[in-house]
Amino acid sequence: MSTVQEVSSAPMVAAVPKKAMSLGPAASLLLLGLLVVTPFFVKNFIIFQMTMVLIYAIAVLALNILTGASGQFSLGQSAFYALGAYTSAILIEHAGMNYALTLPFAGLVCFIAGFLFGLPALRLSGIYLALATFALAVAMPQLLKLGVFEHWTGGVQGLVVTKPDAPEIFASMGLKVSQDMWLYFFTLVVTIVIYMLSVNLLKSRSGRAMMSIRDNEIAASAMGVDVALYKTLAFGVSAGITGIAGGLGAIAVQFVAPDGYTIQLAIALFLGMVVGGVGWLPGSLAGALFIVFVPNIAEHVSKGLSGAVFGVILIFIIFLLPNGARQLAFGVQSVFSKMRRG
């Protein structure tokens, strides 16, 4: 018996059919241009919401690396998001650290936590892993409320984080940059860096190793891929990136409290990944747009039935695009290439 590998039936994630997991250069530049230009034309509140979109996009991207690339399904991302947020908040408020410097720490703490969680999770796959991570997400808010940590975490009340000002250099140059605007561009830079690193990670040897595990764990191990190492590594990297998103989230919202990081956040991130397209990194942005704006739209349509409206919109999207925004993008791309061939 011990010689036979035990794994659950089908892989959770189908391979992305030959197309790349990232956008082409032209599309990337166009998107980047849009992201840079938009804040100059909208109100401060919208800028804040766009900042949140970017932050969630980072978190969805992290989940995408875990699920889309290494094929492990997690419902516990909110736990790592919370851990990152608290790390940043505590370092800013208790240690007086610069907000930007706290992000690497948030990432590191979450990387370690994710790696350690990934070790026992190695034995689990598919729905069993989903349940284990789900447990983590459910437990996290309760753990944050524990009296033992109250001195640091502020217990149920949480912590207030001071919002950073734009650096002096802009003022000395005669530019007036609002806090929201500065935070947006700061987040944008972090997002771009993380996106580029992730794309390169997935293109690298390690990325290919992860994808081989996703497609067929046994075949991968037969070919000499260290399955255990890469699975836990994927968990760690994903948790680390989620932690950075959490840290940014704490800075942007200026507040951390246990009830902000419930299982609902984990579900939202999961929906973002599905709507964006599993395993397609640029889809993370589309997914983040979905989880930030669609609940607002649903609330707008009907206050009492906002949940139902949200559910109906979600069903429409998955009926029309079962593979998420990825499907749309590839559809557009094939239309373009047909036109070119003409």
Please give the residue ranges that form the binding site for other proteins (CB under 8 A): 4-10, 12-14, 67, 73, 120, 123-125, 127-128, 130-132, 134-135, 138-139, 142-143, 145, 216, 218-219, 222, 267, 270-271, 273-275, 278, 304-312, 314-315, 318-319, 322-324
How far apart are CB 67 and other proteins at their closest, in Å? 7
Q: Which is nearer to other proteins, 37 or 320 (CB)?
A: 320
151-154, long-range: CB < 8 A, 24+ apart? 152/90, 152/94, 153/86, 153/90, 153/256, 153/258, 154/256, 154/257
Distance CA 273, CA 271 (A): 5
How far apart are CB 236 and other proteins at their closest, in Å? 18
How far apart are CB 179 and other proteins at their closest, in Å? 34
Answer whether 68's CB lies under 8 Å from 274's CB. no
Handedness of CA 68, 70, 76, 78 (dihedral sign): negative
Q: Which is nearer to other proteins, 181 or 278 (CB)?
A: 278
Return the CA Rg of the chain: 20
Distance CA 252, CA 257 (A): 14
The C-alpha angle 190, 193, 199, rounded to 5 degrees, equals 135
How far apart are CB 218 and other proteins at their closest, in Å? 5
Question: Nearest to residue 23, comparing CAs of 330, 320, 340, 336?
Answer: 330
Report the Cα 149 to chain-centroid distance in Å.
26
Q: Which is nearer to other proteins, 21 or 166 (CB)?
A: 21
Measured distance between the N- and C-terminal CA atoms of the chain, rounded to whole angstroms: 59
How far apart are CB 211 and other proteins at their closest, in Å? 16
Distance CA 281, CA 298 (A): 26
Q: Which is nearer to other proteins, 131 or 188 (CB)?
A: 131
Q: Which is nearer to other proteins, 174 or 304 (CB)?
A: 304
Question: Nearest to residue 60, comparing CAs of 260, 307, 324?
Answer: 324
Q: Which is nearer to other proteins, 97 or 267 (CB)?
A: 267
Distance CA 260, CA 256 (A): 7
Question: Nearest to residue 80, comparing CAs of 290, 232, 244?
Answer: 244
Q: Which is nearer to other proteins, 165 or 226 (CB)?
A: 226
How far apart are CB 319 and other proteins at their closest, in Å? 6
How far apart are CB 262 and other proteins at their closest, in Å? 11
How far apart are CB 134 and other proteins at their closest, in Å? 8
Q: Which is nearer to other proteins, 236 or 279 (CB)?
A: 279
